Structure 1
Amino acid sequence: MTKVTIVGISGVTNGGKTTLSTKIIEKFPNSILIRQDDYFREEDDPNHIWITLKSGRKHQNWESLNAVNWDKLKSQVNLTLSELSNTSNPLLIIEGHLIFNYRNFPFKFDLKFFFTLPKEECFRRRLDRNYVPADPPGYFDEIVWPMYLKNKEGMGKSTHDIIYIKGTDDTQQIFNDVLQRINKTC
């Protein structure tokens, strides 16, 4: 049975996680990408944490651990690890803004990458995206950014082996640096 190299790509919203993950998948033919975003709970799921914004509007907190169906994601990871174990040089990429906060994965990441951005750049990039459900006014300042800071701090002891990436750096240079580290690990 072959050891699967597991790479985690996390960090700030709109920092470059998906761009990097996609480039890695294209480079490694025996790789699979699992995106945390594919495991968000349905909008009406009772496990959501609801917040009330200053405007009085209620909205799900998509930045909290409760927003993700971790059991479903974990099942997919286990299935994928089993499938990849008979592949040569297998690589599993797990991407998501909360993956380093979730403590119940049945494995350890071989590499951890975490994107950062200045608040203003993060907000600018977020305005260019369409979210379903859409961000209500105030959601970024009241929830997204404070939860990013809280989640970053909440990674706790697991940060000693994280490689931080500035999301404002050149995407090709980021990819080249990450590729070099992956090649050393595989």
Structure 2
Amino acid sequence: MAEASASRSNALIIGISGVSSSGKTTLARILRDIFPRTFILHEDDFYKNDTDIPLNQEHNIADWDCLEAINLPQFQQALEYIRQHGMSPPDFVSKEDQNSVGEVDVDKALIEDLQWKASKWMFADAPPIAIIDGFLLYSEGMKAVRDLIDVKLFLRTDYKTAKTRREARSGYVTLEGFWEDPPGYVDKVVWPNYVKDHAFMFKGGDVESEYYEEQLQRLKIRAAPDAALKEMTKRVQWAYDVLEEALNSFTEPRLAP
């Protein structure tokens, strides 16, 4: 059974985290299309202003992939609002939805089947679903945010795949303009930061090795099985099963006499 945070929430908050280019945003958008009354909150929408993004001192370059680049108090306040009201803050506008995720190789028949299955939640006594998409949701430095998430999904990706996908992107809409990764950005910034913030989840601190299962259990993180990471169709099925389990668990107290 999925376990909610200590205080009862008016939304089921689902976190999807992992290294940049691991498929978080793509999966979040597909799940939004499947489940009724679902919306997405992107961690990337809480970046600080472009001029306030910290510099990577070693390479003298803007570091968009570190904790200090995120307006953490604002991000936390948004999640607290969702928990209380079951919707996004009324003044919230997403810039992240302007960024493309490219072509998605997924079985359309499966999506239609899952949409039909999930339609039962439209009129059930179930909460709206808030999907939180972010690359740093479970790091120790994000504990205040991490504790507000009811169900934590994690997508792992190896270095080669992350590098190839990230370098294929054209760039990102920011608060004040547009950012395009300079040459070598994955090796200088993205991957080292990912390792630093997620080593505690893996045996020996090796993010391409086995999970440190005790840590995952302690933080109630559900890591996608390897088969689900290689195929988006299997990843969607896995995530759907976890969300349905969470919805059943969430509604049980409400259905009790």
TM range (shorter): 0.7 to 0.9
Q: Map of 1:147-158 to 2, 5 A cutoff? A: 147-154=193-200
Quick one: which of 30, 49, 56 aligns to 1:51? 56
| 98-107 or 157-166, larger mean C-alpha shift | 157-166
> Structure 1, residues 6-55: CA drift from partner, whole Å, max 9, x if none?
2110001101000110011112222221100111111101xx3311455x
* 2:184 partner letter: G
For residue 68 of structure 2, the aligned residue among 54, 66, 69 is: 66
The answer to whether the 8 A contact 2:11-2:82 is kept is no
Residue equivalent to 1:172: 233
Q: Distance in 2 between matches of 1:162 and 1:146?
A: 22
Query: Is structure 2 residue 166 aligned with structure 1 residue 126?
Result: yes
Hey, what does 2:112 align to over in structure 1? none
TM-score by length of 1: 0.85
Q: State the distance in 2 between where 1:63 and 1:81 align.
A: 26
- If each structure's helix is expressed as a fraction of its own residues, which one has the higher value? 2
Contact 1:2 1:88 in 2 (8 A): no
Residues 39, 103 of structure 1: alpha-carbon distance in 2 compared, 3 angstrom cutoff:
same
Q: Matched residue of 1:79: which SS?
A: helix
Separation (CA, whole Å) in 1 of partners of 2:49 and 2:10: 34
| Deviation (angstroms), 1:108 | 3.8
Q: Is the 8 A contact 1:100 1:158 kept in 2?
A: no
Q: What is the SS of the residue equivalent to 1:163?
A: strand
Structure 2: segments with no counterpart, 5+ residues: 1-7, 88-124, 172-177, 203-213, 248-257
Give % identity: 24
**Equivalent of residue 83 in structure 1, options 80, 85, 95:** 85
Distance change (3 Å), C-alpha of 1:2 and 1:119: closer
Change (3 A) 1:183 1:44: same
Q: Secondary structure at the match of 1:120?
A: helix
Query: One-letter code of the match for 1:18?
Result: T
Equivalence for 2:111: none
CA separation in 1, counterparts of 2:200 and 2:74? 23
- After superposition, give the CA deviation of every residue in 1:64-109 in whole Å (9 maximum; x if it has no partner): 1111111111222222222218x84321111100111201138442
Greater relative CO (CA pairs within 8 A, separation 6+): 1
Does structure 1 retain, via aligned residues, the 8 Å contact 2:46–2:74? yes
Q: How many residues align structurally?
A: 180
- Provide the C-alpha distance between the structure 2 equivalents of 1:121 and 1:177, rounded to a whole number of angstroms: 21
Corresponding residue of 2:104: none
Q: How far apart, CA to CA, are the structure 2 residues paired with 1:2 and 1:118?
A: 35
Structure 1 distance, partners of 2:66, 2:215, is 18
Aligned counterparts of 2:131 and 2:215: Cα–Cα separation in 1: 18
Tell me which amino acid in the other structure corresponds to 2:39: I
The alignment's TM-score, normalised by the length of structure 2, stands at: 0.63
SS at match of 1:81: helix
**Contact 1:115-1:164 within 8 A present in 2 as well:** yes
- Name the amino acid aligned to 1:94: I
What's the CA shift for 1:59?
1.5
Q: Distance in 1 between matches of 2:216 and 2:9?
A: 27
Superposed displacement of residue 163, structure 1: 2.0
1:137 equivalent in alignment to 2:183: yes
